[in-house]
Structure 1
Amino acid sequence: MSTSLSLTPSAEWLTPKGDGLVIAGPCSVETPGQVYETVKQLAETGKVDIIRGGIWKPRTRPGAFEGVGEEGLPLLTESARAFGLPCMTEVATPDHVEAALRHNVDMVWIGARTTVNPFSVQAIADALRGTEIPVWVKNPVNPDLGLWLGAVERLAGVGLKKIGLIHRGFTPLGDTPLRNLPEWSLALKMRENMPEAPMVSDPSHIAGRRDLLASITRKAHELCMDGWMIESHVAPHEAWSDAKQQIVPSALPTLLAEALHEKQAHATGLLPQLEALMQTLENRLQQIRVLAGAQQEEQVLRVLAEEGLSVQ
């Protein structure tokens, strides 16, 4: 069942250069030289449509680099415009929105840690009321379709018409090779519910590692995502955040070419969707195994307590 929000068709505000929209740029804006050189090299590939750059970083635990703040916005906008590209950044509060608008950022996105909180999303929506800036919404950290839908509905409710979706995966239970589980079937369900909104995949946050990027990028294209958001840094090993998942700009064309080539050689029809469903089922089974192990441990501890014993 789809939800009609009368959004502006993506063809009226997005103009991909190739077979899929490409959003690329550093995880974080760090220094003038780092931003400019990264954007320059990305622009030289001829593959990038929009430059991304994190200004405020919502870190899971305190003490990590949390972004350079508003002073980084001119670095982002000026570097992007020097090469004729629009730019976008993440906003998590009304203050972030106001700063982004002051510095004429072209687009913004709402991050996964913000999408989970309806109060935060509504506050951002209210701050954006009366503007026409495009807004992208990442899926929430937990696989809750309602939260993702609700975030888009709140934005549409204040009159925003240019809304896109970013599929970045979901926090796993237990250890997995991937940083975030893709849960492809949920992403496809979101597309079914929001057919008017373009959806791009974020292989960087799903994979969490450069060596796993190719398979996620390819799978996203097989499932007919509208493009990708890929983190790129002129010197990934020196990055101040998420160094393991960023690629050098020169690696981007090869990554995209492999994804496009594999799709052409891949069987069409329902197979990619079935594979996505099977992967989701396997992820759920792994979560059940983790939960079952935890429950067994609790049962053992309960029995020991009843017998007056303890585990040292």
Structure 2
Amino acid sequence: MEQTITAQSVWQKLANKQPVIISGPCSAETELQVLETAIRLAKTGKVDMLRAGIWKPRTKPGNFEGVGTEGLVWLQKAREITGLPFTIEVATAKHVEDSLKHAADILWIGARTTVNPFSVQEVADALQGVDIPVFVKNPVNPDLDLWIGAIERLQKAGIKRIAVVHRGFSNYGNTEYRNAPMWHIPIELKRRMPDMPMLCDPSHIGGRRDI
């Protein structure tokens, strides 16, 4: 299928403060799962971009940590079939290299990477001279300076198209939300960086369909 939605058109919607919907499985588990999901999402006519995690930073060892680079081939095929561009999470220079090799449309830095300046710098260094949009999720802990620091590292690497993703913050004990939204933090980021496009990740914040 001809790709009528592109990374540039998605970025233009963000820049114009229009709603952008990014959807897909938390983890890419099989080629069939990725393709079936992409086809169903494309048929709605409401989704702008496909996402799926292929490198999953788990809390404890032994849990499923993603299918790895093989998943990029599945996402490329999904794009060919549906016309939906795809975005992928990167946490290392090798992730960046593999994602660019497979023509990922947009990259994102996850919350567990944003929290580590060394990891963010590694990704930023790998992106030197590359013109690609990058989304930066808030760090898992409620630290605005860490979030802004990650943005600044990418800016210093020459990345021009940066957006932030508010996905809530980790907290201890039982709460209404899976990740506490702490709305004052993204609001303060927008106050300091009013031109920075911002997306909201309701799945990570809510953790339940009913909210």
Q: TM (normalized to structure 1)?
A: 0.62
Give runs of ≥4 in structure 1 deviating > 3 Å: none
Could you report, residue by residue, the CA deviation over 1:50-86 in whole angstroms, capped at 9, with x for unpaired residues? 1111010011111111000001101012202321111
Conservation of the 8 A alpha-carbon contact between 1:15 and 1:49: no
For 2:106, the equivalent position in structure 1 comes to 107
Q: Does 1:15 align with 2:13?
A: yes
- 1:150-189 matched pairs, under 5 angstroms: 150-189=149-188
Q: Percent of aligned positions with the same letter in both sequences?
A: 57
Structure 2 residues not aligned, in runs of 5+: 1-7
What's the CA shift for 1:11? 7.6
Q: What secondary structure is seen at the aligned counterpart in 1 of 2:21?
A: strand
Inter-CA distance 161–189: structure 2 relative to 1 (3 Å threshold):
same
Could you report, residue by residue, the CA deviation over 1:1-55 in whole angstroms, capped at 9, with x for unpaired residues? xxxxxxxxx9883337x95110111111111111011000000001001111101
For 2:80, the equivalent position in structure 1 comes to 81
For 1:45, the equivalent position in structure 2 comes to 44
Q: Does 1:198 align with 2:197?
A: yes
What's the CA shift for 1:95? 0.6
Q: How many residues align?
A: 202
Higher helix share: 1
Q: Distance in 2 between matches of 1:75 and 1:26?
A: 13
RMSD (Å), alpha carbons: 1.7
Stretch of structure 1 that moved more, 101-110 or 189-198 = 189-198
For 1:25, the equivalent position in structure 2 comes to 24
Q: Distance in 1 between matches of 2:189 and 2:58?
A: 26
Inter-CA distance 11–100: structure 2 relative to 1 (3 Å threshold):
closer
Q: Distance in 1 between matches of 2:48 and 2:86?
A: 9
Q: What secondary structure is seen at the aligned counterpart in 2 of 1:72?
A: helix
Q: TM (normalized to structure 2)?
A: 0.91
Q: Distance in 2 between matches of 1:172 and 1:110?
A: 20
Q: What secondary structure is seen at the aligned counterpart in 2 of 1:101?
A: helix
What's the CA shift for 1:173? 2.3
Q: What secondary structure is seen at the aligned counterpart in 1 of 2:47?
A: coil
Inter-CA distance 11–25: structure 2 relative to 1 (3 Å threshold):
closer
Q: Distance in 2 between matches of 1:169 and 1:21?
A: 18
Could you report, residue by residue, the CA deviation over 1:218-275 in whole angstroms, capped at 9, with x for unpaired residues? xxxxxxxxxxxxxxxxxxxxxxxxxxxxxxxxxxxxxxxxxxxxxxxxxxxxxxxxxx
- 1:108-147 matched pairs, under 5 angstroms: 108-147=107-146
Q: Distance in 1 between matches of 2:189 and 2:33?
A: 36
Conservation of the 8 A alpha-carbon contact between 2:107 and 2:134: yes
Q: Distance in 2 between matches of 1:129 and 1:208?
A: 35
Q: Distance in 2 between matches of 1:73 and 1:59?
A: 20
Q: Distance in 2 between matches of 1:29 and 1:11?
A: 25
Structure 1 residues not aligned, in runs of 5+: 1-9, 213-312
What's the CA shift for 1:159? 0.5
For 1:72, the equivalent position in structure 2 comes to 71
